Amino acid sequence: MGDFTVKIDMDKCNGCGTCYDVCAFDVYGEPVDGKVVLLVEDNCTGCESCVSQCPEEAIEVIEN
């Protein structure tokens, strides 16, 4: 996979689970206590589906 860093602004994250639902690469786990869980960041391909679908604009994907 690619070499990407996923940054989540936990102050903005509302735990809706949209990133979990749209990510085909199991980067995210189901939200816990109202916040997203980053499972396997190394799986990120940089497709930014999570970024475009996040209603709170809480996710940023950065290419290393």
- Domain extent, residue 37, equals 4-63
Widest Cα–Cα separation across the chain = 30
pLDDT, tens digit (0-9, with 9 covering 90-100), for 31-52: 999 999 999 999 999 999 999 9
CA distance 43 to 16: 21
The number of folded domains in the chain is 1
Report yes or no on whether pTM surpasses 0.75: yes
The full DSSP string for 33-53 is TTEEEE--GGG--S--HHHHH
CATH number, domain of 14, equals: 3.30.70.20
Q: Torsion angle of alpha carbons 20, 55, 8, 52, nearest 10°?
A: 80
Structure confidence at residue 1 as a pLDDT band (50, 70, 90): low
Q: How many CB atoms lie within 10 A of CB 8?
A: 19
CB 56 within 8 A of CB 12: yes
